[in-house]
Amino acid sequence: MKFHMIAGGPKPVAPFSHAVETDGFVFVTGQMPDTPATPGVLPGGIVAQTKAVMENLRVVLEGLGLGFEHIVMSRIYLTRFKEDYAAMNETYRSYFPPDRLPARTCVGVTGLAYDALIEIDLVCRRP
């Protein structure tokens, strides 16, 4: 197994690696909607927070030599499920071609670090 911390990547909010790799699979820790430059400072609204999470995921993936095309599964956590689900879906979908959408789970949760509205983690596969 390899444990990855990506230089210049998002600052972890707890004791974990950005990703763990085993047998060609890469498990990417859930990312928050802050930036590496301003940990804990979140943009307002689900669209901005979804974009920020996706950009943090992009940073981690690029640090691993991967991209969104390597995602096989994503898990999305929303604190305001009914209110934010449609707008999050529209924003999330824009990161993938229509014929290359990863498998996915999306659940409502009671809370996330930094009082974020969204968190997304990934399972990827190396080519």
Q: Which residues contact 37 (CB under 8 A, 6 or more apart)?
A: none
Please report which residue ranges of the chain form alpha helices under DSSP H: 46-63, 81-93
Are 29 and 12 contacting, i.e. CB atoms less than 8 angstroms apart?
Answer: yes
Task: Return phi, psi of residue 59, to 5°.
Answer: -60, -45
Determine the Cα–Cα distance for residues 69 and 45; give it in Å rounded to an integer.
26
pLDDT in tens, the chain (127 residues): 999 999 989 988 889 999 999 999 999 999 999 988 888 899 999 999 999 999 999 999 999 999 999 999 999 999 999 999 999 999 999 999 999 999 999 999 999 999 999 999 999 999 9
Residue 75's pLDDT is 98
Q: If we measure between CA atoms, which residue out of 46, 70, 64 comes closest to residue 125?
A: 70
Determine the Cα–Cα distance for residues 105 and 69; give it in Å rounded to an integer.
18
Structure tokens given for 7: 């230089």
Q: If we measure between CA atoms, which residue out of 17, 64, 56 comes closest to residue 34?
A: 56
Residue 13's pLDDT is 82
